[in-house]
Structure 1
């Protein structure tokens, strides 16, 4: 296991998850802003650790494993808490979380068959839209007259569509392996 700077930043994103949960249950409006700040820092760390890994030539197999785990922990925790708090549509969240589980299982199965499944461009867009949706839903009050919750809701619908689409792309790409048995 190689604890490069980028891998440490990825691990820090996992540490943010329990802090995020604690902040979510703080009294309002402190919870709005503290969760939004924690999630924003964690979300930006997702981009930053990848950037560092590429520019510093620190891409490792451990990092390729840990990064999606950190992402899934952060995003699914946030979505489940948003549903619990009544801020997100449960059906959309179930679709998104189900896609994450299916694609993760598919990637694991493909890895056992020595097939590398690269992150698709659609999957990257899905992640960006998901992060923005969650950020808007976390704040869920108007900011300078801008309806954050409504924007977050629209983006969550878009993230759900992108989740289904990118999930379909991953499954379609695995069909040759399915046919092999």
Structure 2
């Protein structure tokens, strides 16, 4: 275990804390959940930075870090979708979670073919992640029906659109390996 992997593990341990706080019958839960999520998002950045800076990258970290991110985002989105009962939020949440499943499967499949580099993280993927984190932070910190929650939903919709765009980029890069060439069909 190294420092980056400890930070990634911390993110996983923060998930049940986030859920418990979110469902407390307490007005301060919104700000507290936003703070917990912000710490988790910060550790996501920090563990990657430290892994590179301290030369502590590991195969376990390369596997575990994206899993921790996807779990934290997915759990937060499920809680928000349940609380808001808004079709737009449900659609945006489904797009984000669905894309994560598709791209995770695509990366695994491409890695088996020895072509993982063709579906490496792109700039749009990083922008998508930043917008998701911002949207979830705003939505967790705002009771439904407030001006901030409307703004947070708008940011989430932008994140969902970036999510579709990044999925398109990854699928386009992998397309030659997904669809057999005419010569291979015979």
TM-score of the alignment, normalized to the shorter chain, above 0.5: yes
TM-score by length of 1: 0.91
Q: Distance in 2 between matches of 1:121 and 1:62?
A: 24
Larger deviation: 155-164 or 28-37?
28-37
Greater RCO, 1 or 2 (C-alpha within 8 Å, sep 6+): 2
Show the counterpart of 1:178: 178
* Runs of 5+ consecutive residues of structure 1 not aligned to the other structure: none
SS at match of 1:29: coil
Given candidates 2, 6, 31, the residue that maps to 1:4 is 2
Q: Size of the alignment, in residue pairs?
A: 176
C-alpha contact 2:44 2:65 (8 A) present in aligned 1: yes
C-alpha contact 1:87 1:137 (8 A) present in aligned 2: no
TM-score by length of 2: 0.89
Show the counterpart of 1:69: 67
Given candidates 29, 32, 38, the residue that maps to 1:31 is 29
Show the counterpart of 1:55: 53
Root-mean-square deviation over aligned CA pairs: 1.8
Q: Which 4+ residue blocks in structure 1 deviate beyond 6 angstroms?
A: none
SS at match of 1:85: helix
* Runs of 5+ consecutive residues of structure 2 not aligned to the other structure: none
Q: What displacement does 1:87 show?
A: 6.6
| Higher CA-based Rg | 2
Show the counterpart of 1:118: 120
